[in-house]
Amino acid sequence: MIAADHSLVADLVSANHILFRHGIVDAFGHVSVRHDGDPARFLLARNMAPALVTPADIMAFAHDGTPLGGDDRQPYLERFIHGAIYRARPDVSAVVHSHAASLIPFGVVHDAPLRPIYHMSSFLLRPVPVFEIRDAAGPENDLLVRDDALGDALAAALGDHTAVLMRGHGATIVGRDVRQAVFCAVYTAQNALLQSDAMRLGGAVTYLSETEAERATVTNAGQVERAWSLWRRDA
């Protein structure tokens, strides 16, 4: 099996720790990267708390969720989220699955879509879609994306967006690389907090216009390393 670059593995480990530090994951949730030597594979930690991940805990998977290289350690149940998105989105090289509490209300209140409220979350651009697992799994489900079919349904709900909410569960956020995916995951959760606060004040909320969002996204794309270097040091 082609070995992944050491720097990619190091970034994946740092991503786990940063996401924990910012409350995007806790004992649960996970982050993956597309394999740099083979785009049909991805890297993801074994089934464990993200804050405890080390390079030795990283596993390689085929896009159908099969562990590679004879690795028989227990994988995350929802690894199918990652493989399905990598199949559907060639532009995506990192995926974050989060249970951040600030995001949950926007997945269950239909007339309160998550929208970009400030420039740091401009990448949301349009209202964030919501994945309703009942539509794919029926009423007899446990809200987990346990197989390829449910992974495909989630990827379809994500479409070409940066984030998709998962009703009663959390959210999945993607990026062109792991540093951008972490950046977007942090500021998606922060946007939810600010939007909730603004809505509680009463009256109409002013969201970013499409032009503002597009222009701010271009600007912010050049600032990801600034955030990453600080967050990695603190984590």
Closest CA to 45 of 175, 195, 20: 20
Give the amino acid at 78: E
**In whole angstroms, what is the distance from residue 75 CA to residue 58 CA?**
10
The overall longest dimension of the chain from CA atoms, in Å, is 58
Between CA 133 and CA 166 the distance in angstroms is 8
* Non-local CB neighbours of 139 within 8 Å, separated by 6+ positions: none
Beta partners for residue 61, in sequence order = 42, 67
Q: For residue 174, what are its two tokens?
A: 């993607």
For residue 78, indicate whether it is catalytic.
yes
Residues 6+ apart with CB under 8 A from 209: none
Of these residues, 78, 132, 212, 225, which one is catalytic? 78
Residue numbers annotated as active site: 78
